[in-house]
Structure 1
Amino acid sequence: MAYREHGAEDSLVGSAFMQMVERPWGITAFGAASVKALPNLVRVRFKIVRLEQTPAAAFEAARTAVRAVRGALREHGIADAAVEGSRLDLKTATEYADGSRRFIGYQCQAAFAVQSGVLDDVEPLLIDIVSAGANEIEGVDFDVTGKRELRAEARRQAVAAARAKAELYAEAASVRIGAVLHIEDIDPEQPGAARYRGHAEAAATSAQDLAPGHVVVSAAVVLGYAVAGA
């Protein structure tokens, strides 16, 4: 019986501890930070799409364009290993007219994703792959290598911002912050983070973070501190 009572007591203590972690009693502060860097690579996503009256003609037209586009990529020094290409895909194409759909041919397409570290060559590259046969440019995205290190630095800065805010609140309330009770990582890009944005530091984002030519990596955190007393 004593063992059961002891177990029940442990359960209550554990439950109370979990409640403190989920909703800490003390000071809770939100911190956010952004680190920016010049991009050093670009990813281009495009498609080759051909419409012909027979499957054979559609496949042949798409293959011809694929060969020409791959040749253009090689001329720009992009190795085959840096090119991701899908298999040729064929589907029936229709159009809606006069209240009904009618057959217009067979559509064959191939999708590509190309990565390059030569940013000054982006415009000539786009011009040449379109001239070679690419007829749908889906996106041109600039990025940076070492993003993991940038994210880690942004997280360190977010923790420092949250601590500084907690210390300010503690000073204003004539108390001191104690041990950390709760650490919650917040993804600034997720919709659920919207409720925190109004409490972010003004320095966390600025006009410079949106400057063209920069990649911005952000992080945010919620820290819960115990109150240590005056």
Structure 2
Amino acid sequence: MTAATTQGPILSFSVSEEVRSRPDQATVGAGVTTTASTAVEAMRANAAAMDRLIAAAKARGIKAEDIQTSGINLSPQYDYSNRTDGQPPRFLGYQVSNTVRATTGRIDDIGPLLDALVAAGGTNIEGPWFGMKDPDAQLVGARGAAIKAAEAKAADYARLAGYRGAELVSISEGGFAGPQPPMPYVRMEMAADAKSTPVEPGRVSNTLTLHFQYRLMR
């Protein structure tokens, strides 16, 4: 390679590749809300209700390490209706909300799991959120495709600019965006003959972005 060849301009660009796969894990949220005249009573009632909820999740095969509390809220409740100017609100009691999230790899069991949580007293249902246990493994093919696309793109730029080729200088990985979950379909109102709440997992997408630098060669 001559000195003149190595002095060509540097071409910088990025290539993104998207991979869509069927999810292999899902997370659902469930909680209960309790009220009582005192904070202690409200917390105790909520703890008992949450014990039943967690037991129901474990009965569906969810491991203890895959159940995580996502939020506990205790707040006083007041009635502001029918208050005249200067009249304080009427104190109603205390309300406690507690939510846990459970993660499972049994995608086909999400519907029955939701049904079990509701049957155990769960009233605040969230999710499901779908994802991949190992999103990096999903991107192996995307890396190869991105590199191949970059080679073709660099060669095209070189040809259009009047150079004979392009030499790879550097690759860096960044801008990983994923997984992007689908909008799941969950119908909690079941028909009389339905076996469980229907859930459609769809596919999750991961997007990989690689940054390239090529030196154009004459």
Per the TM superposition, whether the score is higher than 0.5 is: yes
Q: What is the deviation of 1:101?
A: 5.5
User: What SS class does the counterpart of residue 23 from structure 2 fall into?
Assistant: coil
Moved more, 106-115 or 176-185: 176-185
User: What SS class does the counterpart of residue 145 from structure 1 fall into?
Assistant: coil
Q: Report Cα offsets for 1:84-128 as digits up to 9, x if no partner.
A: 136854232346546875533212222211011111111121122
User: What SS class does the counterpart of residue 102 from structure 2 fall into?
Assistant: strand
Q: Which amino acid aligns with 1:39?
A: P
- For the residues of structure 2 that align with 1:79 and 1:141, how far apart are their CA atoms? 18
- For the residues of structure 1 that align with 2:16 and 2:121, how far apart are their CA atoms? 45
More helix by share: 1
Figure out how many residues of one structure are paired with residues of the other and give that number. Answer: 187
Q: Percent identity?
A: 26
User: Is residue 43–residue 141 contact of structure 1 (8 Å, CA) maintained in 2?
Assistant: yes
Structure 1: stretches of 5+ with no match in the other structure? 1-23, 191-210
- For the residues of structure 2 that align with 1:127 and 1:81, how far apart are their CA atoms? 21
- For the residues of structure 2 that align with 1:42 and 1:122, how far apart are their CA atoms? 8
Q: Which amino acid aligns with 1:60?
A: R
Q: Which amino acid aligns with 1:223?
A: F
The structure-2 alpha-carbon separation of the partners of 1:26 and 1:69, relative to structure 1 and needing over 3 Å to count, comes to same
Aligned ranges 1:54-65 → 2 under 5 Å: 54-65=38-49
The structure-2 alpha-carbon separation of the partners of 1:184 and 1:93, relative to structure 1 and needing over 3 Å to count, comes to farther
Q: Which amino acid aligns with 2:77?
A: A
Q: Report Cα offsets for 1:40-99 as digits up to 9, x if no partner.
A: 111112322212222132122212211211221122122222211368542323465468
More strand by share: 2
Aligned partner of 2:54 among 70, 83, 87: 70
Match of 1:227 in 2: 216
Q: What is the deviation of 1:174?
A: 3.0
Question: Which consecutive segments of 4 or more residues in structure 1 shift more than 6 A?
Answer: none
Q: Which amino acid aligns with 2:126?
A: E
Aligned ranges 1:10-159 → 2 under 5 Å: 25-85=9-69, 89-94=73-78, 97=81, 102-159=90-147
User: What SS class does the counterpart of residue 187 from structure 1 fall into?
Assistant: strand
Q: Report Cα offsets for 1:120-171 as digits up to 9, x if no partner.
A: 1111211221221222123211112221222343233223222221211212
- For the residues of structure 2 that align with 1:77 and 1:227, how far apart are their CA atoms? 58
User: Is residue 20–residue 205 contact of structure 2 (8 Å, CA) maintained in 1?
Assistant: yes
Q: What is the deviation of 1:39?
A: 1.3
- For the residues of structure 2 that align with 1:161 and 1:217, how far apart are their CA atoms? 18
- For the residues of structure 1 that align with 2:205 and 2:113, how far apart are their CA atoms? 25
Match of 2:164 in 1: 176
Q: Report Cα offsets for 1:152-194 as digits up to 9, x if no partner.
A: 432332232222212112123331343334545441649xxxx
- TM-score, scaled relative to structure 1: 0.69
